[in-house]
Amino acid sequence: MIILDSEARLFTLQTRNTTYQMKVDEKGVLLHTYYGAKLQGGDLSRLIRFADRGFSPNPSQVGNDRTYSLDTLPQEYACAGTGDFRLPALELELADGSHAAELRYVEAKACRGKYTLEGLPAFFASPEEADTLAITLEDAAAHIRVELLYGVFEACDLITRAVRIRNCGQEPVRLRRAASLCLDFPGAELDFVTFDGGHVKERGLNRAPLRPGIQSVGSVRGISSHQHNPFVMLCEPSAGEEHGLCYGAALVYSGNFEAAAEREQFETARLTLGIHPFHFCWTLEAGEAFTTPEAALICSPNGFGQMSRQFHQAVRSHLLRDVWHSRRKPVLVNSWEAFYFDYDHQRLLRFAREAAALGVELFVLDDGWFGHRDNDSTSLGDWWVHPKKLPEGLGALSREINALGMEFGLWIEPEMVSEDSELYRAHPDWVLNPPGRPYTRGRCQLVLDYTRPEVRTYIFSSLQKVLDDAHVSFLKWDMNRALAQVWSAGLPADRQGEVYHRYVLGVYDLLERMRQANPHTLIEGCSGGGGRFDMGMLYYTPQIWCSDNTDAIDRLRIQYGTSFAYPPATMGAHVSAVPNEQTGRSVPLETRGVVALSGTFGYEMDMGALSQQEKDVVAKQIADYKESYDLIQTGDYYRLTPPSPDGAPTAWLHVSADQRTALLCLVSGQVHAAQPFRYLKLRGLDPRLQYRITGEDLSWPGDVLMQAGYPLPMLGEYQSLRLWLKAE
């Protein structure tokens, strides 16, 4: 709900559990007054204090009033160059070379429904599910108008923000920084929580108190990256899973980003989130506008768990455009870890028969099916069938797969090109690289220039011919290197600062074309696993391969960190063979299944190499997947214990909306002598109900399970439990 008081110039956004408020002061500055637990109303600008602060300058319109300074006020969208020395949201370079910007209020409008962003992913809603507030600010001297867009999803506690910047003058203006989110806090006693790591160790939780100065994470790799995720939190130092005030902020974007938090001299804090300013310079000609990516905000007065569940609900209901939303997703097997590049038609068919006999429903053919690709140094860009491996074509293979009762899926990497390819030999200028410089390669491949429409059109046409020939139900869209030496032959020298962002827009454009042309094909995102696991990609690819690391024990940490913003329904998670190729660790097949079943379930192994006992386990896992599918895909998710290096078990819980059904999952850690007795306190149950647990004759009161705990059995190393709780 939006409460717009035009006379007082007071704007209040109300969600189910939170209040967000802004007010225009007498100088025309849009101030941020409050964001936190829900309040009944009132003008909260009374909380803002004024004082004479040395070296904090005063705008000319206040005369000799030394108590009024933009350097000390909580602003809704702060600018660089006019007296606020904290993190700016907007930095302009004007035609005269100055970098000053000073925004003042013009008007505000509210309407039913959610705003849209052309060419960019964004949360969506029906007119009954969300409202929009648009506040227009203006720098009269620079002839710049800034429209702040707010989407309010009351049921999800979600507030989205985006910014549209328009040049209303006659001279070009350059954007040097244009953040999507600027949020000021009245106090700086906050922890900054980020999700960091690297390839095969993505999204590990890191938490530290805000120190004086600026702390930031981000990416300048052209993708959101394995190293840092574009989701961060600020929280009270005492906040935990079920208590304390916390704020989660996610950028709905898949390229370079920066999330920065500043603890400033007067013990207040500011958070900014948006496109990274590195190598970003966007020219606005007269009359042109630039739209920032969307930022998504959720405040939880009751800890991380509530925030996560609200994000999960919002993502599932208002971000994912899942073409399979009305059906159960099939159990899949991927060929990569079984064969790598070494296969032919008959070997693939034998593999598919063995998988089908175990109940697998989708066969995904990974790398190596195109050009003359027998290793990873060749043929990217040549999207036609490998004549020696598949002489009868993909259509023939897919028809035989379908005849086994399985659907057919395919791996592609359409953003890349190999130097050993027909495409590169015909169009070397289609590669991102400055003229006269040797290439910087990654995985023996170069990056196609997706800023250019002709490149995207060629790739689309080539891939669509393949998809038209073969009945492809599932596409795995991979991207296996970061961007370097970013320069486009399609843009003049003074526009090269636009390449990173235009590249991302090009990726979105091609993804949307592929979705529209193949409305029944599910696209799974991948970038060496989790290198582009962000809400921007989820808008186009409703599930993403969580990590190239399929080791079940490492996956506990990866999926734990991922769960803070992203629901299990989005996490690509498979059972792979042991010893694991990343860690060399051997974990029981049952445990590998428990971990993978809390994601989009499938297999990465040669099913024909399994023993009969292992095949029986696989058959049970597939049955378990079908039984628990709806609960895992749509239920509430509770993190019970974090992954721990000390041997303590990792536990999580899926709970149905009516609280009558729950599924407890647990994996033990390293075993040491003289183990302690452990009791696990559950969450999310109805304290008034009695629950029957798998394999037990006696029922348990919900309040006992949550307050006293459930006594865990003694488990061996890397053992697992998967227990149903059903209300009587």
Residue 663, helix vs strand vs coil? strand
Mean pLDDT across the stretch 409-423?
98
pLDDT on residue 41: 81
Mean pLDDT of 341-358: 96
> Residues 397-421: what's their mean pLDDT?
98
β-strand partners of 11: 4, 22
* Surface-to-core class of residue 606, CB atoms within 10 Å of its CB (0-12 exposed, 13-18 middle, 19+ buried): middle
Q: How far apart are CA 210 and CA 216, in angstroms?
A: 11
pTM: 0.97
pLDDT at 271: 98
Q: How far apart are CA 47 and CA 184, in angstroms?
A: 13
Per residue, what are the HEC states of 87-144?
Answer: CCCEEEECCCCCCCCCCEEEEEEEEECCCCCCCCCCCCCCCCCCEEEEEEEEECCCCE
Q: Which residue has the tokens 């214990």?
A: 641
Backbone angles phi, psi at 143, to 5 degrees: 60, 40
> pLDDT confidence of 674, banded at 50, 70, 90?
confident
Rounded Cα distance between 96 and 489, Å, is 28
- List the one residue out of 597, 625, 586 whose CA is nearest residue 718: 586
**564: its two tokens:** 């803070």
Domain with CATH 2.70.98.60 in the chain: 2-318
Distances in whole angstroms, Cα of residue 305 to Cα of each of 156, 245, 308, 573: 13, 11, 5, 22
What pLDDT does 645 receive? 76
What pLDDT, in 10s, does the model give residues 71-81?
999 999 999 99
Q: Quick one: pLDDT band at residue 557, thresholds 50, 70, 90?
A: very high
pLDDT at 675 over 90: no
For the segment(s) 640-727, the CATH number from 3.30.2010.10, 1.20.1260.10, 2.60.40.1180, 2.40.50.140 is 2.60.40.1180
pLDDT in tens, 239-278: 999 999 999 999 999 999 999 999 999 999 999 999 999 9
CA distance 603 to 588: 14
Alpha-carbon span 483 to 488, nearest angstrom: 12
So what's the pLDDT on residue 358?
96
CATH architecture under which domain 2-318 falls = Distorted Sandwich (2.70)
Q: Which residues of the chain form CATH 2.60.40.1180? A: 640-727
The C-alpha atoms of residue 136 and residue 165 are separated, in whole angstroms, by 10
Our separate counts of H helices and E strands in the chain read 12, 38
pLDDT of 448 over the 80 cut: yes
As beta bridge partners, residue 258 has 274
Decide if 414 contacts 463 (C-beta within 8 A): yes
pLDDT of 624 > 80? The answer is yes
Structural tokens at position 610: 């399994």
pLDDT band, very low/low/confident/very high, at 673 (cuts 50, 70, 90) = confident
Q: How far is CA 475 from CA 55, 251, 386, 618, in A?
A: 58, 25, 18, 24
Are residues 249 and 183 in contact, defined by beta-carbon separation less than 8 angstroms? Answer: yes
Average pLDDT, the chain: 97
pLDDT tens-digit map of 274-328: 999 999 999 999 999 999 999 999 999 999 999 999 999 999 999 999 999 999 9
Give the integer Cα–Cα distance in Å for 479 and 254. Answer: 12
Instruction: Check whether 705 has a pLDDT greater than 80.
Output: yes
CA distance 405 to 402: 5
Average pLDDT for residues 361-382, to the nearest whole number?
Answer: 97
H or E segment at 464?
helix 453-469
User: Is the model's pLDDT at 647 over the cut of 80?
Assistant: no
> DSSP assignment, residue 204?
E
How big, in percent rounded to 5, are the helix, strand and coil portions of the chain? 25, 30, 45
pLDDT at 644: 87
Q: Is 203 in a helix, a strand, or coil?
A: strand
Predicted local confidence at residue 291, as pLDDT: 98
Sorting pLDDT into bands at 50, 70 and 90, what band is 579?
very high
Res. 520: pLDDT tops 90:
yes
Q: Which residues contact 223 (CB under 8 A, 6 or more apart)?
A: 254, 255, 479, 482, 483, 527, 531, 532
Share of the chain above pLDDT 90, in %: 98
Q: Burial of 87 by CB count in 10 Å (0-12 exposed, 13-18 middle, 19+ buried)?
A: buried
Range 194-213 average pLDDT: 98
Residue 187 has pLDDT above 90, yes or no: yes
pLDDT for residue 8: 96
Asked if 217 and 261 touch (Cβ cutoff 8 Å), the reply is no
**Interacting residues of 565 by C-beta distance below 8 A, sequence separation 6+:** 229, 231, 248, 250, 308, 311, 315, 535
Q: Enumerate the active-site residues.
A: 534, 614
